Structure 1
Amino acid sequence: MEKSGLENSPKSSALKDTENKPLFAKATKSPLFKGKPDRSVSTATNSKKKWKIAIVDDDEQVHQVTELALSNFSFHGDGLEFVHAYSGVEAKDLFQKHPDVSVLLLDVVMESEHAGLEFAKYIREEIKNYQVRIVLRTGQPGQAPESRIISDYDINDYKEKTELTAQKLHTLIFSCLRSYRDIMALERNKRGLEHVISASQDIFKLGSISTFAEGVIEQISSLLYADQSALICGLNGLVSHENRAGITFIAGTGEFAKKQGNDLDDFLPGHVIKQLTCIDDDVGSLEADDLFISYLTTKDGHRNLLIISGVKYNHPSERKMMNLICQNALIAFDNLNLRVEIEETQRELVYRLGEAVETRSKETGNHVQRVAEFSKFLALKAGMSAGDAELLKHASPMHDLGKIGIPDSILNKPDKLTAEEWKVMQSHSALGAQLLGDSDREILNLGARVALEHHEKWNGTGYPNGKSGEEISLAGRITAITDVLDALSRDRCYKKAWPFDQIVEFLLEERGRHFDPNLVDLVLENIDEIKEIQRRYP
């Protein structure tokens, strides 16, 4: 079949093409190129960043001349990387390996008359790649009329090979890369907004501030076409390079993605750190090397930093916009951190309240800490969601809150309680639920349920309501076994600590009587992890 190809001229003559001379002259198409060089990737220019150009054509000389024509091409200082395929089938494999192709120069006729058109349809409809800019190049426009191709296929340009000069090819690639850059910026901005919206729905959930931070970073980067490397961190008392403490990494992307626990000098140059230590203003920004650093000092004297690398300004107004966005972001993070601080304070007060009750009953204060850790661990093993398990961890320390209303003479009596004293002692479950039950707070509501049910038994012989089986909430059943497990392993005013083998024997005896059988099995299957938790909180 005839199809426009390259002139049968040596490679050196191709280099002599002027800007206005067609790169591809009309000629008889030779058979499919045989003995193609063993390469799929090549580059042009030595810049760090490369825009990836895919050439899909069954004529090797088309690949060569296209690369030659674009050998000195740069887009805002960045060069090109070429990837190659010689048929529609090869092109599918190519796009699996290189999904980040920016521009596709696609021949229409290859192994079949419509191989190029079929591949263009594959890109858009099957692999759902709507970002790559597709330019069809044909040597016989009569076989694929431009008007029909443009309307029937989702392509971005259509060129006859005989009309392409070096200058026109440069213009074409520049236009396509500009479109691709803008589309990717919009895509990143969309992802950033999705991150922020998702995090805003549940800002108190574990990790939501980090998610929110990543979203803001993506938005800033996309607005200014910056590299995706950014970091938000807080510094407590940044006085000098030698004397700084309390670095808190909130979020990072790119090269800063795994910097938690590192010092600033591990990834910031010394002269940049020196500039930071000499800052007197409470709010502002500075630029050093390829870094943009925005800073904000909070009311409590902490300095929050937002660091972005690879920022490029295409217009002076963008620097002002950058300052505005970053300062607003840091204010937002400061407010979010304040809200999280309030929640953490509430949780700590819950622990301390539980410990106060345990101290009053002359038991180890770490009992509530161990019960909390046991409960979260067992909840996850029982299939509870991470969020619910975390909630139980913070609610379970309140299981014995009702003991605050039990007289010391009963609470700390070393001898066996009388029937009347035991009745008073049992009232602590209902009293704890009563103290917590009228709160609107999720943790306190769950704490009320745990306080009420942690002495109920699987066989229905517990108190205060004689519930049995799954009538008892999973949170109540978990706290029941974790409370007893820890109590048996420690000295109390009325007993000595049991050996662990004896505790295991007791759990087996009470399986299906006092405790949920499934929970007993989970404890015994994970006994080493249980012991490790005990070792962490002696």
Structure 2
Amino acid sequence: MTGNDEILFKDEIPPLAPAQSAGDDGWKILIVDDEADVHSVTTYMLAGQEYRGRKFNFLHAYSAEEAKIVLAEHPDVAVILLDVVMETDDSGLLLVKYIREEMNDYTVRIILRTGQPGKAPAAKVILEYDIDDYKEKTELTLEKMLVTLISALRSYNFITTIENNRNGLRRIIEASSDIFERQSLQKLGCGVLSQLTSILQLKKDAVLTQASGLTASGIKGESVILAATGEFSKYLEKPIHQIQSEMVHRALDRARTQPHGFYCEEDKCAWYFQSKTGSDNFLYFEISKDLDENDHDLLELFFTNVSLAFDNLYLNKGIEDTQKEVIFHMAETMECRSAETGSHVRRVSEYVRLMALKYGLGEEQAEMLKLASTAHDLGKIGIPDSILNKPGPLNPEEYDIIKSHVQRGYDLLVNSTSPIIKTAARIILLHHERWDGQGYPQGLVGEETHIHGRIVAVADVFDALSNKRVYHQAWNWDKVFAYFLEESGKHFDPCLVDILLENKEEFMAIWEEYHDECGVCSGSREALPADSARSDRSE
């Protein structure tokens, strides 16, 4: 035997899938023959034999039709000893076609045995049918039968090993795709635990019943539990050092010292890596399954992709944090220019988030919209204080200057490539458009205005009416909601008005939480009824 042969056979392992029946870890061998004596002789000859520590378990079928039923019940058959002539002269050959072409089973090894070689010449059968061996019954002594079976089982084992690795890689690709779509550390942690179940071929309920696990991440020794299952669920969002299990901490410490950061002993496994941004990331899980070499290889590949996902997320988070800081500073600058201080920007952003979620936008889009909305009055940075804080009505010239703030603000942000800042630019430009087309600057009608602009329009006016300004007193709730009902389909998107009216208590709760103690709120001069005589600063 050559060195290459040794390496090849060393890697042989019992197949991971398909799974064996409960309490049955032997090789399943199906005998298909219409002669009962053939079944008896075969099982007698091979009784007690085994390969790689696994015994031979025989299944029996006396016709091609019976064989189809047995194969449906036992998809993990390794070898079929198949007679050619049974119900018809070619029933065995037709069964081969059925197995390969209809069942799409190219894994099971098929050995044709015939007592009438003239009805199925070997050369013709081997060329035209997907079989693995062809024997005449008279030549199958015990020794030859054993050699034939061991050869077939070895081939079956190699094929299932390759197939398992292929499926494992496919799951790695699918899991990695899912992991890289996670847009927050917590969702990433949950995704890692969820995909780990698939990678290790655990049952769907294994995370809850057979496996316990956690993921944690943090900087400078302050790692926090991002996701947890089983007994670790009680530690969710708590520092990792609070876990009261010496075993967990020992496993994680061991993982730190491993070349690839992966440590596994019996049913307890840990993984550690430090990202390029300096964060410490941990994964710990317990399962009731022994991990073999293939499992280790798949996990290392999976963890490599996970580490890249963590790195990307931390880098993106740093960029997003910077963008958030810039936008918040711009919003604060605008608030400071008003004659009064207040929480207008904060309230509007909370209204916007709530309405976005009620409208059906996703959590991530709602969060981005909440942040971007804080810059909706950025363009007023170029409006003179004498106009912005004028307590009385505006003349036509002043009103035109006020209206210019949307284009000013839009021009400041429109060239950014940041999704958040681009959204802010869109909001600035569109939040004074009206459903009936009477808004500005473009006079858009209905859904021509992007949903972001329509949402902010409702939130902005809702806050303007419900808080005291230098140019009007705060309205009571009945009057506020009556105004929106009246303007539904005119100023505002009817769908958004319905959301506001159907969820009054939630919007009022935001006002209650962030209202100004002084009873006066700064912010934009929004659309008011006609009798306001253009005393507002935006219409």
**Shared fold per TM-score greater than 0.5:** yes
Match in the other structure for 1:178: 158
Match in the other structure for 2:172: 192
1:133 to 108, 120, 127: 108
TM-score for the superposition, normalised by structure 1: 0.65
Match in the other structure for 2:474: 496
Match in the other structure for 2:146: 167
Q: Following TM superposition, by how much is the alpha carbon of 1:136 offset from its aligned partner in structure 2, in angstroms? A: 4.4
Alignment RMSD (CA, Å): 5.5
Match in the other structure for 2:224: 246
Q: Work out whether 1:429 is the aligned partner of 2:406.
A: yes
Q: Secondary structure at the match of 1:296?
A: strand
Q: Deviations over 1:177-214 (max 9, x none)?
A: 232112221232244246547877x7879999679969
Checking the alignment, whether the CA contact within 8 Å between 1:199 and 1:211 is kept in structure 2 is no
Q: Work out whether 1:349 is the aligned partner of 2:325.
A: yes
Match in the other structure for 1:463: 440
Equivalent position amino acid for 1:103 in 2: A
Q: Work out whether 1:481 is the aligned partner of 2:458.
A: yes
Percent identity reads: 29
Checking the alignment, whether the CA contact within 8 Å between 2:30 and 2:77 is kept in structure 1 is no
Distance 1:79 1:260 in 2: 46
Q: Deviations over 1:48-97 (max 9, x none)?
A: xx57847474779759976995877465x778998887776676677777
Match in the other structure for 1:18: none
Equivalence map 1:18-417=2 (5 Å)? 50=25, 53=28, 55=30, 57=32, 62=39, 73=50, 75=52, 101=76, 103=78, 105=80, 107=82, 117-118=93-94, 120-126=96-102, 128-130=104-106, 132-140=107-115, 142=117, 143-157=119-133, 163=140, 165=142, 167-168=146-147, 169-193=149-173, 196=176, 233-236=215-218, 245-249=223-227, 261=236, 270-277=246-253, 284-298=261-275, 302-305=279-282, 310-313=290-293, 329=305, 332-346=308-322, 348-349=324-325, 352-353=328-329, 356=332, 359-360=335-336, 361=338, 362-378=342-358, 380=360, 392=369, 394-407=371-384, 410-411=387-388, 417=394
Q: Following TM superposition, by how much is the alpha carbon of 1:176 offset from its aligned partner in structure 2, in angstroms? A: 0.9
Equivalent position amino acid for 2:215 in 1: C
Q: 1:271 to 1:398 in 2, by over 3 A?
A: same
Question: Relative to total residues, which structure has the larger helix share, 1 or 2?
Answer: 2
Checking the alignment, whether the CA contact within 8 Å between 2:353 and 2:366 is kept in structure 1 is no
Distance 2:480 2:96 in 1: 68
Q: Between Structure 1 and Structure 2, how many residues are aligned?
A: 470
Q: Secondary structure at the match of 2:226?
A: strand
Q: Secondary structure at the match of 1:293?
A: strand
Q: Deviations over 1:375-432 (max 9, x none)?
A: 5325536xxx887666545534432332344455554566655555443332322222
Match in the other structure for 1:506: 483
Q: Following TM superposition, by how much is the alpha carbon of 1:149 offset from its aligned partner in structure 2, in angstroms? A: 3.9
Distance 1:391 1:265 in 2: 33
Equivalent position amino acid for 1:527 in 2: N
Checking the alignment, whether the CA contact within 8 Å between 2:252 and 2:282 is kept in structure 1 is no
Checking the alignment, whether the CA contact within 8 Å between 1:53 and 1:83 is kept in structure 2 is yes
- Name structure 1 gaps, 5 residues minimum: 1-40
Q: Deviations over 1:267-307 (max 9, x none)?
A: 99743423535888597554422445342345766422355
Distance 2:105 2:480 in 1: 60
Distance 2:162 2:40 in 1: 27
Q: 1:483 to 1:378 in 2, by over 3 A?
A: farther
Q: Secondary structure at the match of 1:513?
A: coil
Equivalent position amino acid for 1:341 in 2: K
Q: Deviations over 1:464-486 (max 9, x none)?
A: 23222343233323332343345
Match in the other structure for 1:29: none
Checking the alignment, whether the CA contact within 8 Å between 2:224 and 2:237 is kept in structure 1 is no
Equivalent position amino acid for 1:312 in 2: D
Q: Work out whether 1:444 is the aligned partner of 2:421.
A: yes
Checking the alignment, whether the CA contact within 8 Å between 1:42 and 1:83 is kept in structure 2 is no
Match in the other structure for 1:527: 503
Q: 1:403 to 1:270 in 2, by over 3 A?
A: same
Q: 1:215 to 1:491 in 2, by over 3 A?
A: same
Distance 2:449 2:427 in 1: 10
Distance 1:371 1:98 in 2: 59
Checking the alignment, whether the CA contact within 8 Å between 1:292 and 1:311 is kept in structure 2 is no
Q: Following TM superposition, by how much is the alpha carbon of 1:437 offset from its aligned partner in structure 2, in angstroms? A: 0.9
Q: Secondary structure at the match of 1:496?
A: coil
Q: 1:151 to 1:534 in 2, by over 3 A?
A: farther
- Name structure 2 gaps, 5 residues minimum: 1-19, 515-539
Distance 2:44 2:379 in 1: 80
